[in-house]
Amino acid sequence: MARLGTESAFEVLARAKALERQGKEIVHLEIGEPDFDTPEHIRDAAKRALDTGATHYGPSAGLPELRVAIARHITATRGTPVTPEEVVVTPGAKPIMFFTIMALVNRGDEVVYPNPGFPIYESVVNFVGGVPVPIPLLEETGFGFDLRLFEQRVSRKTKLIIVNSPQNPTGGVLARSEIERVAEIARSLRIPVLSDEIYRDFLYDGEFVSLLSLPGMREHAILLDGFSKSFAMTGWRLGYGVMPPPLAEHLTRLMVNSNSCTASFSQLAGIAALEGDQTPTKRMVAEFKRRRDLVVEGLNRLPGVSCRSPRGAFYVFPNIQKLGRKSAEVADRLLREAGVAVLPGTAFGEHGEGYLRLSYATSEANLRKALDRMAPVLARLGS
C-alpha cells in the first residue's frame, strides 16, 4: 500500500473545503470536472431506465447494447472499424488504466509515460512493482513528447507505453508526427500503448489524431475514453476501453473480481449520450474555449507568470519559474492567502516543478475573481 500514490486534486479539494467550513470563501480551480449539468436528454434516459427495471446486475464487460453503441461511436470518430467484443465498460474510465496496468505489467517491467501527467499512471505502475520511466513534456513544444528521450528510454524491458492527448495537466496536444513516431516504435517492438483520449472533444485548434487510427495499431492499442468529461457525467461513473479481445477478456475478469458490473441505468444513459443530440457538448466546448482565452490572457498579466495557450482539455499550466519558489509553496500560499485552490505542477510528477495547474471548468466570474485575488499574493511571493 505504501507504493500506491494518490490524486492531489482530491486532497487539495478537502483542504479547500476545510477552509470553507471555517468561513473562508474559496475559488475552486483544482478539480477537473465540467461545471455544466449533464444534458437533459441523458438524465431523462436514466430516469426511464430506472423506471423500467434497469436496477439489476448486468454483464461484467457492459450491456451488449452499450458495447454496440460504443463500437459504432469509435468506428465513426477514430476511422477504424471496432467490434463490440473489443469494448469493456467500466465505472468511469479510471479503472481502464488500473486494470490495463494490472494485466500487462509484472514486477520489474518498465512503463513509459508522460511527466507531468495524470498521477494515477505512475501510482499504479509503482503499486504493481513496475518501473515508471517518465518522458518529460516540454513547454517549448506545446508540451509535446521529447521524442529523442522517448526513443532512448523505450527498450525491450518496456511492457507498456502510455500517451494522453489532449493532455492533463498541460492542455497540450501531441502532434501527428509525435503520435506516428510513438506508434512506429510500439509496432516495431510489439509494445502495447494505452492511449488516454478522455479529452478528445476538448480540442480548440488543429486536428485530433487518435493512436488507434494509425496503421497496424489495432493489435497494440488500448483506447481509454468515457463519458465523464464530454457529457459532464463525472458522477455517473461511466467509461470504457477498446482493446484486442484477449486483453478485453482479462479486463472483464478484473471487472468480475472488483465491480461485478457498471451501474445498468448509467449505461443506458450512456447510449442516449452517444446517440442523442451532440449540441450540448459542442456548446460546452465553445464556452471552454472562451474561458481558456480569458484565463491565459489574465495569467500573462500576473507578476512572475507566463502561460502558453493550450490547444486542448480544460487546464492551463502556467510557468511560475520567475517567482523563484517551489510550486507547492506557491499553490499553498494561493490557497491560504488568496482563497484560490490550484494544484502545484509537481502533483503531476517531478517535471511539473515550476508550474501550476488551473482548471478553467468554472464560471467566468470565478475565473476573474481568482485572477484578481492571485495578483497581490504573487507580487508578494516574487519580491
Ligand X SMILES: Cc1ncc(COP(=O)(O)O)c(C=O)c1O
**Binding residues vs ligand X (CB under 6 A):** 32, 92-94, 118, 164, 168, 196, 198, 226, 228, 234, 239
Q: Which is nearer to ligand X, 172 or 226 (CB)?
A: 226
Q: Which is nearer to ligand X, 226 or 270 (CB)?
A: 226
Terminal Cα distance for the chain, rounded: 42
3-state secondary structure of 65: helix
In one letter, which amino acid is 236? W
Q: Is the CB of residue 165 less than 8 Å from the CB of residue 197? A: yes
Report, in Å, the least distance between residue 215 CB and ligand X: 25
Report, in Å, the least distance between residue 131 CB and ligand X: 21
What lies within 8 Å, CB to CB, of 112 at 6+ separation is 133, 134, 135, 150, 153, 154, 158, 160, 161, 162
Q: Which is nearer to ligand X, 139 or 196 (CB)?
A: 196
Q: Which is nearer to ligand X, 33 or 332 (CB)?
A: 33
Q: Which DSSP string corresponds to 292-331?
A: HHHHHHHHHTSTT-B----SBTTEE--B-GGG-S-HHHHH
Report, in Å, the least distance between residue 353 CB and ligand X: 20
Q: Which is nearer to ligand X, 323 or 343 (CB)?
A: 343
* CA–CA dist 173, 131 (Å, integer): 25
Position of minimal CB gap to ligand X: 92
Report, in Å, the least distance between residue 32 CB and ligand X: 4
Q: Which is nearer to ligand X, 198 or 323 (CB)?
A: 198
Report, in Å, the least distance between residue 40 CB and ligand X: 21
For the CA atoms of the chain, what is the radius of gyration? 20
Q: Which is nearer to ligand X, 63 or 302 (CB)?
A: 63
Q: Is the CB of residue 356 less than 8 Å from the CB of residue 344? A: yes
Longest pairwise C-alpha distance within the chain: 64
Q: Which is nearer to ligand X, 93 or 377 (CB)?
A: 93
Q: Is the CB of residue 97 less than 8 Å from the CB of residue 91? A: no
290: number of Cβ within 10 Å:
12
Report, in Å, the least distance between residue 285 CB and ligand X: 16
Pick from 275, 277, 225: nearest CA to 89: 225
* CA–CA dist 263, 206 (Å, integer): 36
Q: Which is nearer to ligand X, 158 or 164 (CB)?
A: 164
Report, in Å, the least distance between residue 360 CB and ligand X: 14
Set of cell numbers at residue 78 = 477514430
* CA–CA dist 65, 51 (Å, integer): 18
Report, in Å, the least distance between residue 111 CB and ligand X: 15
Report, in Å, the least distance between residue 198 CB and ligand X: 4
CA–chain centroid gap for 190, Å, is 25
Burial class from Cβ neighbours inside 10 Å (0-12, 13-18, 19+) for residue 362 reads: buried
